Amino acid sequence: MTTHQDRKLYLGPRLRVLRRELGLNQAQMAQELGVSPSYLNHLERNQRPLTAQMLLRLANTYEIDVRDFVAGAAQADGGDLQSVFADGLVRDIGIARNEVMEVAENYPGVSEAIMRLYRALTDLREAPGRVEELTVRPVSASNAVQWLRDMLQARRYHLSDIDDAAEALAADLGAGLEAMRPAMRAMLADRYGIRVQVVEDGVLVDALWHYDFHRRRLMLSERMDEQSRQFAVAVRLAESALADRIRAEVDRAGAPDDETRMLLRRALVSYAAAAIVMPYARFLQVAQDSHYDMELLKARFGVSYEQAAQRLVTLTRPTARSVPMFMMKIDWAGAVSKRCTSDGAWVARAGGGCARWGVQRAFRQPGEPVTALVEAPDGERFVTVARAIPPRPGRAPSMIILGCPDRHAGQISGLTRMSAPPVDAIPIGPRCHLCERAGCPDRALPPVTRVLDLSDYARPASPYPFRAI
């Protein structure tokens, strides 16, 4: 019978970690221990056990505590593996503790692989709250976009310094479209020497507008509607008149790299332009008085539906704030290209992929709002309004979704065009492969975090029933 004292010690991963902590390659460590590099390689790959003589050489050469070096590995790995196999996903298999310990002690590479897979599974279970991180995008772009979203979310999508400066600038331009539009162009020309010129189709290749820095000329394509032209002029005015405020905000944010910094600067310029065209106090007053009537907001400020929707999310000034709103932009294929929320609403962070929501109906009735009352997995309810946006030159149609917690439904009747929201809430989740709602009859895929529970003797309502954990 093999006793505990006779058990062979396979501590390859521990030996490899020690070598890397010391900053040595295999040849250097082998030379210091007086063994061949091939023998050391066998030890690290657990193809040879670590003998008592080798343990003494390690202790004498690198001044390590042999007891800690030997005892820590199997105990830690065994404990971690035990928690993995106690998970509800595999608990019913009934893997004996001694089997788990044998794997931990004798197959540390396998143990590490299992732990990595389990950590990935844990991440998937948390995915409804972090679904944006799972979208398929280039890694660098995803990191930059996610950083920007996190930064703006931390500020509740309100940048007070830029907003205050933009509001003061808007006051100089005058109230109303008839005064503001020519005043913006005049200010660009008189203060900054920049002329605005509408050019014929074909002059601007693959662009709707272009700023000629050398000739100090902003060229706008004749294909642009008046709303888009106004915003392009506001962008150039923001870059000229609010340059110091924008630069200070960029420096304060501390973007991690040049790519993120450029993305941040572009977002802040757009924010400033929106704040000029839709001054905070004036825009909030009209929104509240009209119960968030989007048609009135569009007409009063000469903006698009998307511009007005995104501005609503930024109205979070502590002394004067709107209903807490969220906004999403979804393309024809169902991909979410924009998410903004002033209060971290689940729907804005993780929604958009559930077929039960029914927002795709908006594409079949362009211009008409599709109102719904939905319930998130945590039980919170939201009133949402989806509206299709007609295609623009070179762009496919998209959809804007606006919403707020249902407790504010009475304040947004101008947005929903209903005296009261629906009574019955639609339970929604993230995309099917991430959703753990049980009994969903519209499920297209089973959740990757659960085990299917199929039976030959019963046919449940859901096509992919799974076990509760």
Q: Is 408 part of any domain? A: no
Same domain, 189 and 85: no
Q: For residue 222, give the CATH number of its domain.
A: 1.10.10.2910
pTM of the full structure: 0.69
Give per-residue pLDDT as tens, 349-407: 777 888 898 888 888 888 888 999 999 888 889 999 999 988 776 677 889 999 999 99
**Which residues are registered as beta bridge partners of 388?**
399
Choosing from 83, 106, 127, the residue where a domain stops is: 127
Q: Is 300 part of any domain? A: no
Same domain, 119 and 160: no
Q: Is 27 part of any domain? A: yes
Q: Is 304 part of any domain? A: no
SS (H, E, C) the chain: CCCCCCCCCCCHHHHHHHHHHHCCCHHHHHHHHCCCHHHHHHHHCCCCCCCHHHHHHHHHHHCCCHHHHHHHHHHHHHHHHHHHHCCCCCHHHCCCHHHHHHHHHHCHHHHHHHHHHHHHHHHHHCHHHCHHHHCCCCHHHHHHHHHHHHHHHHCCCCCHHHHHHHHHHHHHHCCCHHHHHHHHHHHHHHHHCCEEEEECCCCCCCCCEEEECCCCEEEEECCCCHHHHHHHHHHHHHHHHCHHHHHHHHHHHCCCCHHHHHHHHHHHHHHHHHHHHCCHHHHHHHHHHCCCCHHHHHHHHCCCHHHHHHHHHCCEECCEECCCCEEEEEECCCCEEEEEECCCCHHHHHCCCCHHHCHHHHHHCCCCCEEEEEECCCCCEEEEEEEEECCCCCCCCEEEEEEEEHHHHHHHHHHHCCCCCCCCCEECCCCHHHCCCCCCCCCCCCCCCCCECCCCCCCCCCCCCECCC
Same domain, 122 and 176: no
pLDDT of the residue at 421: 66
Q: Is 165 part of any domain? A: yes
CB atoms within 10 A of CB 130: 15
Q: Is 345 part of any domain? A: no
Same domain, 116 and 182: no
Choosing from 109, 127, 145, the residue where a domain stops is: 127
Same domain, 256 and 162: yes
Domain region containing 33: 12-127
Same domain, 122 and 160: no
Number of domains in the chain: 3
Integer angstrom CA distances of residue 155 from 284, 308, 359:
19, 19, 29
Residue (of 327, 370, 357) closest to 345 by Cα position: 327
Same domain, 166 and 263: yes
Same domain, 165 and 256: yes
pLDDT of the residue at 229: 92
Residue (of 276, 279, 287, 264) closest to 237 by Cα position: 276
Same domain, 175 and 218: yes
pLDDT of the residue at 5: 45
Same domain, 120 and 166: no
Q: Is 45 part of any domain? A: yes
Integer angstrom CA distances of residue 106 from 21, 79, 101, 119:
23, 14, 8, 21
Q: Is 139 part of any domain? A: no
Residues of the chain with pLDDT under 70: 1-8, 68, 71-80, 105-106, 108, 123-142, 393-394, 419-421, 469
Q: What are phi and psi of 401, to 5 degrees?
A: -115, 125
pLDDT of the residue at 141: 42
Same domain, 86 and 168: no
CB atoms within 10 A of CB 371: 19
One-letter amino acid for residue 333 of the chain = A
Residue (of 64, 59, 55) closest to 10 by Cα position: 55
Choosing from 207, 242, 277, the residue where a domain stops is: 277
For tokens 């046919």, the residue is: 459
